[in-house]
């Protein structure tokens, strides 16, 4: 391991716990099949965290007891579920129903988890989710990802996150090793520190162990294979925090 990787790993160890103090990780899964823009039943890889509306009322009466899904730039309201088959209302929260590819990331939360406008000013980690998604009628061009962070002052502020988008890392070679895979992330500058603020549930035998900016607009994700057999790291969305210190 070279000097830069050692330095980055130490930085991530020291800083990352501060960024994630008392926050709740937002659940993500993926679609197990593609959907068109009118399909009412979608298939997910995992239904963890997805809850049907309360039996004593629908979403309009009990907004805290149903689930909202965000896929790409569309919000969907859960009506019912049977295993991993989810019946939904398309184009919720003023968003537009669009087609989605198989393996697209599905963010899972109650309706109040997702914001319709960009957060500003200070924030409280104990009542925020990491990441916090902004999606709504005024923000249909994309989804914005945010985190509630502090560097050292003890004051927490909202900070935007960069995203890899939905990626599928390649399988490792059949050997115990640590190897990098590169992905395009617009806005990255060579030499700046980055922290992986959110990631899919790791594959246990080939977890993500560090990251670096290896070229302009390029992140290298280092996966450590803990077995002599080939292993495929977790697919999904990896969110990156880039602490750009003021001079």
DSSP for 69-95 reads: EEETTEEEEEEEEETTEEEEEEEETT-
Residue 200 scores a pLDDT above 80: yes
Q: What are phi and psi of 88, to 5 degrees?
A: -135, 160
Same-domain pairing of 169 and 155: no
Global confidence as pTM = 0.76
Let me know if residue 122 belongs to a domain: yes
Let me know if residue 247 belongs to a domain: no
Same-domain pairing of 33 and 146: yes
Give me the pLDDT at residue 25, please: 87
Final residue belonging to a domain, choices 117, 134, 160: 160
Same-domain pairing of 212 and 133: no
The model's pLDDT over 103-142, given as tens digits with 9 standing for 90+, comes to 899 999 988 889 988 898 899 988 899 899 998 776 556 7
To the nearest whole percent, how much of the chain has pLDDT over 90? Answer: 53
Q: What are phi and psi of 5, to 5 degrees?
A: -65, -40
Final residue belonging to a domain, choices 160, 193, 210: 160
């Amino acid at each position: 391991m070279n000097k830069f990787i050692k330095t980055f790993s130490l930085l991530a160890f020291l800083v990352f716990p501060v960024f994630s103090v008392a926050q709740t990780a937002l659940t993500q899964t993926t679609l197990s099949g593609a959907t068109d823009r009118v399909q009412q039943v979608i298939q997910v890889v995992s239904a963890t965290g997805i809850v049907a509306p309360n039996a004593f009322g629908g979403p309009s009466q009990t907004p805290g007891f149903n689930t909202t899904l965000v896929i790409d730039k569309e919000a969907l309201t859960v009506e019912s579920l049977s295993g991993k088959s989810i019946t939904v209302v398309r184009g919720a929260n003023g968003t537009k129903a669009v087609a989605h590819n198989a393996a697209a990331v599905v963010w899972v939360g109650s309706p109040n988890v997702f914001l319709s406008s960009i957060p500003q000013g200070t924030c409280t980690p104990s009542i925020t989710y990491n990441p916090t998604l902004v999606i709504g009628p005024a923000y249909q061009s994309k989804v914005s990802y945010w985190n509630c962070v502090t560097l050292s002052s003890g004051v927490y502020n909202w900070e935007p996150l960069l995203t890899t988008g939905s990626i599928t890392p390649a399988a490792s070679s059949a050997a115990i090793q640590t190897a990098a895979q590169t992905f395009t992330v617009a806005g990255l500058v060579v030499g700046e520190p980055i922290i992986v603020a959110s990631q899919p549930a790791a594959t246990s035998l080939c977890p993500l162990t560090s990251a670096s900016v290896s070229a302009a607009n390029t992140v290298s994700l280092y996966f450590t294979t803990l077995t002599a057999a080939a292993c495929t790291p977790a697919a999904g969305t990896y969110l990156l925090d880039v602490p750009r210190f003021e001079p």
